[in-house]
Each structure stands twice: as structure tokens, then as C-alpha cells.
Amino acid sequence: MDQIIIYKIILCAIVFVVTLGAAAYMTWGERKLASWLQDRVGPDRAGPFGLLQPIADGLKMLFKEEMIPTHSNKWLFILGPSFFMLTACMTGAVIPWGAGFTIDGTFFPMQIADINIGLLYMLGVVSIGVYGIMIGGWSSNNKFALLGALRASSQMISYEVAMGLALIALVMLTGTLNLGEIVAQQDADYAYIVYQPLGFLIFLICAFAETNRAPFDLPESESELVGGFHTEYSSMKLGFFLFAEYINMFISSAVMASLYFGGYNFPFQHELGLEGNLLSAIQTAVFLGKILIFIFVFMWVRWTLPRFRYDQLMNLGWKVLLPLAIFNIFITGLVMYFTGKL
């Protein structure tokens, strides 16, 4: 029993470090990708191919002057980014990173918290993340920050409804909220994208809106709002806001990969003749590969599509995605009823 607890703590640390590392290198990846799409060179000074750039950025953030505006609410001002970062890091706990491995007859699962309400936990933590932005933007006592925070929070809560509804159609198929079980089911059956193409599309769009990524990056539309909710922030507090966005992107890619694309499973995995720990290691690698593909899509979209206007954004959320998600549930229910999968 003690063994498992120690293992869980180690796994916690590993997942945390991997998440942070991945997010750090996503900033590098994004800049390289952007430069590639725009026919530029991109960061190339710090280390070979600019590979040390994220570390340089991090250190720079750390050594910059910390500004707290005179008229801001000091504690809330500090609480905002801390909260945002905290919630961004917490979601990784329920994601099954692999099938798990066996050493000396003891089974070690590759999931930190195998709770049966994994999906609800995820949605809950995502909703708490809104507070970070709201607190940060409001306490700055700056008009741009206030507007940015208002936009961000009303955008995030609007798309959360459609996201929840898209997930309901999936839960109808799986019959469980446990992420580990959902992934395991996709081993025996097809990946759920086959049954839920519309649901996935809605979820994908909502994930873009939830992470405040282009084309939904209105909260920080620099041409009208300076920096949005983080206008007044400097040093690592600004770093947290920007960094948490990348962590959110990483986590939502992981969630999409495990909910709709079979998680760590890959086609013909049992025909390879591999057993136990080796197969499990390959599965984890495949899972990380799927996450990478999604991250690429996130960045690709950002450097391809222009930004929405605010009313377009709200209309898309409430008048298109929400009815579509409800329609998706209707269709899923009816198909399951008439094909006897009920």
C-alpha cells in the first residue's frame, strides 16, 4: 500500500514536470511554427534552433520587476494568476497517460486519480479557472483589464454549456464518467470519434474558446484592449497567465485524444505480439503523439484564421453550438434506441 502511495507522489511529480516542460516547449513550437507559416526564421539565438528560448523566457520573467498598481486590490491581484495557474495544473490528475505497468507482480496504473467522476472533475476545474481571469482582471482596476476579464469570463461560461452538452452525448455511449474506463472501452470498440463526429467538432470548437485561443482570443485582442485581462501584469504573474494558456492547451489536447481518439490505444496493438510493459510504453508514446497532433492543430488554426467579432462569438456559442449539441444528443439517443444498443 505504501508502495502505491509513494508511486503516486512520484507520478504526480512526473506529470507535473512533463506538463510544464511540454507547455514551455509549446511556446517555442508555436513561435517556430508561426515563423514557418509566415516564411520567417523565428527564434534561433538561444541555443541550437533556439531550443533554449523557453528557459531564457522563463528566467527573464522571473527577474523582471514586479508591478502592483497603486489602485489595485493587492491580494486579489496576486491571487488571480496563481489561481489560474493552479487550476490549469490540476486537470492533469485524472487523465490516463498509459495502461500502466507491472513490476514484481505489483500493478502501477498510469493515472494519478482514478476517480469515477473524472469528467465532472475536469469540467469543475475548468469552470473554476474562470475565477482566475475574473479576479485578475477586476482587481487590476484598469478599464482595459476589466473589459478583457468580462469578455473572457462570459465567453468561457458560454462555451462551457455547449461543451457540457457535447460530452453528455459521449457519456450516453460510455455509461461512465471515469476517463480510464472510457479509454479502455475504446480498446474493445472503435474510437468514439466514429460514433460522435458532431460531438467532437463541438467539443473542439469549445476547447478553442475555453483556452482563449484564436480565433476566440477576444479577451486579449491587442488592437482594441491592449492586453485584455493581463494589461497590468508584469514579471512572473504575466508569465503565469500566458503559461497557463499553454498548459490548458496541452491538457485539452490530452482530453480530446483520450475521449474521442482512443487515448493511449492504437489500431492493431494486440496483433503486434508485444506484451506488458513494452506495449504500455509504446501506448504512452502514441498518446503523447496524439496530443502533439492536436497541439499542432491549435497552433495551425491560430496562425490561419482571423479573430471573431464579439457578437459573432456569442451567436456562435448560444445560437449555433448549443442547439447543435442538443440536436446531437437527440440523434445519439434515437440511434442508440433504434439500433438496440440501448
Task: Verify binding: residue 21, another protein, rule CB under 8 A.
Answer: no
Q: At 133, phi and psi to the nearest 5?
A: -65, -45
Q: Of the two residues 50 and 91, which places its CB atom closer to another protein in the complex?
A: 91
* One residue of 103, 194, 319, 335 binding another protein per CB under 8 A: 319
Residue 47 per-residue DSSP state: S
Question: Which of these ranges, 49-57, 152-160, 211-219, 276-284, lies near another protein under the rule CB under 8 A?
Answer: 152-160
Separation CA 244–CA 250 (nearest Å): 10
Which residues, 68 to 87, sit near another protein by CB under 8 A? 68-72, 78, 82, 85-86
Q: Of the two residues 34 and 68, which places its CB atom closer to another protein in the complex?
A: 68
Minimum gap (Å) between residue 237 Cβ and another protein = 7
Residue 43 per-residue DSSP state: S
Task: Verify binding: residue 292, another protein, rule CB under 8 A.
Answer: no
* One residue of 176, 187, 281, 331 binding another protein per CB under 8 A: 176
* One residue of 22, 110, 177, 257 binding another protein per CB under 8 A: 177
Cell numbers given for 186: 475504446
Residue 271 to residues 268, 276, 289: CA-CA distances in angstroms?
5, 13, 20
Which residues, 121 to 140, sit near another protein by CB under 8 A? 140
Q: Of the two residues 36 and 75, which places its CB atom closer to another protein in the complex?
A: 75
Beta bridge partners of 103: 106
How far, rounded to the nearest angstrom, does the alpha carbon of residue 197 sit from its chain's CA centroid? 19
Minimum gap (Å) between residue 103 Cβ and another protein = 23
* One residue of 51, 113, 201, 242 binding another protein per CB under 8 A: 113
- Reduced to 3 states, what is the DSSP secondary structure of residue 111? coil
Q: Are 261 and 195 in contact (CB under 8 A)?
A: no
Separation CA 99–CA 90 (nearest Å): 21
Task: Verify binding: residue 35, another protein, rule CB under 8 A.
Answer: no
